[in-house]
Amino acid sequence: MENKLILSASPQWRERDSISRIMYTVSLSLVPAWLISIYFFGFPAVYLTILGVISAVGTEYAIEKICKLPKTIHDGSAAVTGVLLAFNLPPAVPFWIPIIGSMVAIGIGKMVFGGLGNNPINPALIGRAFLMASWPVYMTSAWIAPRGGSLSSLTSNLEALTNATPLNLYKSSLNIIHTINDPVQIKTAQDAINSLSNNWLNLFLGRIGGSLGETSALAILIGALYLIYKNYVDWRIPFSYILTVGLLGWALGGFNGLFSGSFLFHVFAGGLFLGAFYMATDMVTSPLTRKGKVIFGIGCGIITFIIRMIGGYPEGVCYSILLMNLGVPLIDRFILPRKFGEVIHAK
């Protein structure tokens, strides 16, 4: 026989799916969020994102070149990390911030562990946490007011109260209510919270101050629904995550006792949608089983809410996901599906 037969283990057929197809689909799904951030924040949204991607891909290539490893940049995962890192930056940061952030994300967040598939925690969030610790001023105040809107989403003179993002304003207002004994200031703070809560539509659309790609819940939702439809994102993580934050926000997030908080404000503010749909669902660093995913999402939600309310930062999405990432091996070890035909005895 002139041509040799190939021997291989079954199955002989494979679905036409690949890691690079997943990664490029994820990148594609981020386009709406990118376009909307370009609309609201202008040119910085363009170059910060591009610099983030170039730096991420370049770092991966350089490390693989130096260590003589097989080149993997074509799989697209570094590019996704670069985009997500840039999306987590305030729009007015200097151009070198995404470059360094991506280098740390890929270098320390991913390559030291052995590259794709081996990193225990989300690389983009490692990069962001590094920037947050190193250049806190840039990372917490380099905001730009969106086109046709204001930083905090409010248009009244309350804006003068604090020049801050909605979550910042919310937190400082709560602070005033709980610690300062001046009725006038308390009244102003209460007004601020009330108007923030009523202003959820601006938050939903993204006409607020915040990180580049996180502000528009709508744009993120469009991309994320596409990914859920393609089965590249399991809805259980974002659903349980967002629902937990929303319910906690409604129950404990108000100033007027239990159940006085605004569900919608807590859900649409900050980076929750970006985090829940794109960071927490990172396949490598999220649990394998459906039950595990729900536990992971709820855990992220609780930690996010705690940081938002009593932590040192106004937003807790980044750290909550990083913390829960560390719990994933444990979840995967103990939360297993009931095997077919397995009898679970009641204890």
Partner 1 sequence: MSLFKKFTFHGGVHPDDGKELSAENPIETMPPPAVVYIPLVQHIGAPAKEVVVIGDTVRKGQKIGEISSFISANIHSSINGKIKAIIQRLSPIGIKVKTIVIESDQSEEIQETLQIKREELPDSKVLLHQIQECGLAGMGGASFPTHIKLCPPQDKTIECLIINAAECEPFLTCDYRLMLEKTEELIMGIDIFRKILNVKGVYIGIEKNKPLAIAAMKKALQNSDIKVIDLEVKYPQGAEKQLIYAITRREVPRNGLPMDVGTVVQNVGTAYAAYEAIYKKKSLYERVVTVSGPGIQQPKNILVRIGTPIQAVIDFCGGLIGKTQKILNGGPMMGLTLFDLSAPIIKGTSGIVVLTEKETSIYTEQPCISCAHCVDACPMHLVPTTIAKNARKEFWEEAEKYGAMDCMECGSCAYVCPAKVNLIHSIQLAKAEITMRRRAAQKQGALNGK
Residues that bind partner 1 (CB under 8 A): 3, 5-15, 17-19, 21-22, 75, 77, 114-118, 231-232, 234, 283-290, 332, 336-343
Do 217 and 282 form a contact (C-beta atoms < 8 A)? Answer: no
**From residue 210, how far is each of 164, 249, 343 by CA, in Å?**
9, 19, 50
C-beta of 11 vs 148, nearer to partner 1: 11
C-beta of 77 vs 88, nearer to partner 1: 77
CA separation for the pair 109, 102 (Å, rounded): 9
C-beta of 53 vs 227, nearer to partner 1: 227
CA separation for the pair 54, 254 (Å, rounded): 43
**From residue 59, how far is each of 39, 66, 68, 82 by CA, in Å?**
29, 10, 14, 10
C-beta of 26 vs 307, nearer to partner 1: 26
Q: Shortest distance, CB of residue 6 to partner 1, whole angstroms?
A: 5
Q: Shortest distance, CB of residue 15 to partner 1, whole angstroms?
A: 5
Q: How many residues does the chain have?
A: 347
Q: Shortest distance, CB of residue 244 to partner 1, whole angstroms?
A: 21
Do 223 and 216 form a contact (C-beta atoms < 8 A)? Answer: no
Q: Shortest distance, CB of residue 17 to partner 1, whole angstroms?
A: 4
CA separation for the pair 58, 50 (Å, rounded): 12
Instruction: Single out the residue of 123, 167, 133, 139 nearest to residue 322, CA to CA.
Output: 123
C-beta of 101 vs 292, nearer to partner 1: 292
C-alpha radius of gyration, the chain, whole number? 22
Q: Shortest distance, CB of residue 245 to partner 1, whole angstroms?
A: 23
Do 76 and 23 form a contact (C-beta atoms < 8 A)? Answer: yes
Q: Shortest distance, CB of residue 74 to partner 1, whole angstroms?
A: 11
Do 246 and 268 form a contact (C-beta atoms < 8 A)? Answer: no
How many other CB atoms are found less than 10 A from the CB of residue 31?
13
Do 60 and 73 form a contact (C-beta atoms < 8 A)? Answer: yes
Q: Shortest distance, CB of residue 167 to partner 1, whole angstroms?
A: 31
C-beta of 59 vs 262, nearer to partner 1: 59
C-beta of 84 vs 212, nearer to partner 1: 84
